[in-house]
Amino acid sequence: MFYIKSKRNATKRKVVFLQPDQKYMGILVNKVYNDFRYHEALKSCMNCGVCTAICPAAEFYKYEPRKICNIIQQQNEAEIEALLRSETIWYCGQCMSCKTRCPRGNVPGTLISVLRRVSQEMGFFSDSEKGRQQLAIKRVVGHSILNRGYCVHPDILDPDLHPEQGPVWAWFKENIEELTEKVGANYKKDGAGALRKIRQENLDEIKKIFDVTGASELFESIESFSKTKAEEMNLGFEQSDEYFMEVLTKNSNNHTI
């Protein structure tokens, strides 16, 4: 048992870090409760529903942050496992609107971050359509950060995969050097400016950050569990991008209300 000081009112708040030997504890509850973000994310939920009312994701998806807080608060391992295997935890847009309104100071959006991490670690993410997209995000955005130093970079955008952009991206990519110069960017060149080349020493530093924070390990976990799922689904994984394209493009249209 530990005590921390709340910055807001400078009073002591008791925080209990549950241990696996307590009889009601299971591994999932333990993982959630021992994530350092948990104690900011969920203090005590009274199920008022204000977070659901403000949540933009709840307006469109089969998603209620109130229900998620309730499931976690009840510590029911079976329900938590079902949640971690479901589509639900992937609907949150991480806008943090819920943080501004909760009368108890909870942050359901941060709780979602915790749950997503546990789902990734345990491989449960590969049981849902939205969860399986973790592989696409890892390979596209994650690799771009490591290899280029940018989350999103025009070089990784394939216009054929983004028909929603119309012909604009194709035109931009065909004329990228001329267009980036016109807007004062420094496309893939040394020195300062938008889209500049990121130096290798900086990329090495990013890799080190990924290694020490556990992000590299999480990447390996996503690859490994995705490979297992690809085998289950009888889709090519290493020799072809069949599974990757499946998770990137599949939409069952069964997510919205």
Helix intervals (H) in 90-133: 97-101, 108-122, 129-132
CA-nearest of 17, 36, 15 to 25 is: 17
> Is there binding between residue 38 and ligand SF4 (CB under 6 A)?
no
Residue nearest to ligand SF4 (CB): 109
Q: With the CA atoms of 133, 121, 204 and 181 taken in that order, what torsion angle do they form, in degrees rounded to the nearest 10?
A: 20
Pick one of 109, 123, 131, 142: the residue that binds ligand SF4 (CB under 6 A): 109
Q: Which two tokens stand for residue 231?
A: 């085998």
Give the contact letters, 56-75, x = binds to ligand SF4 (CB under 6 A), - = no. xx-------xx--x------
| Minimum CB–partner distance for residue 6 and ligand SF4 (Å) | 17
> Is there binding between residue 55 and ligand SF4 (CB under 6 A)?
yes
| Minimum CB–partner distance for residue 207 and ligand SF4 (Å) | 29
Name the amino acid, one letter, at 186. N
| Minimum CB–partner distance for residue 40 and ligand SF4 (Å) | 12
> Is there binding between residue 46 and ligand SF4 (CB under 6 A)?
yes
Single out the segment in contact with ligand SF4 by CB under 6 A; choices: 9-17, 41-49, 158-166, 245-253: 41-49
Give the count of residues interacting with ligand SF4 (CB under 6 A): 28
DSSP state of 194: T
> Is there binding between residue 218 and ligand SF4 (CB under 6 A)?
no
Distance CA 53, CA 90 (A): 18
Element at 227 (helix H, strand E): helix 215-232
Distance CA 224, CA 83 (A): 21
> Is there binding between residue 123 and ligand SF4 (CB under 6 A)?
no
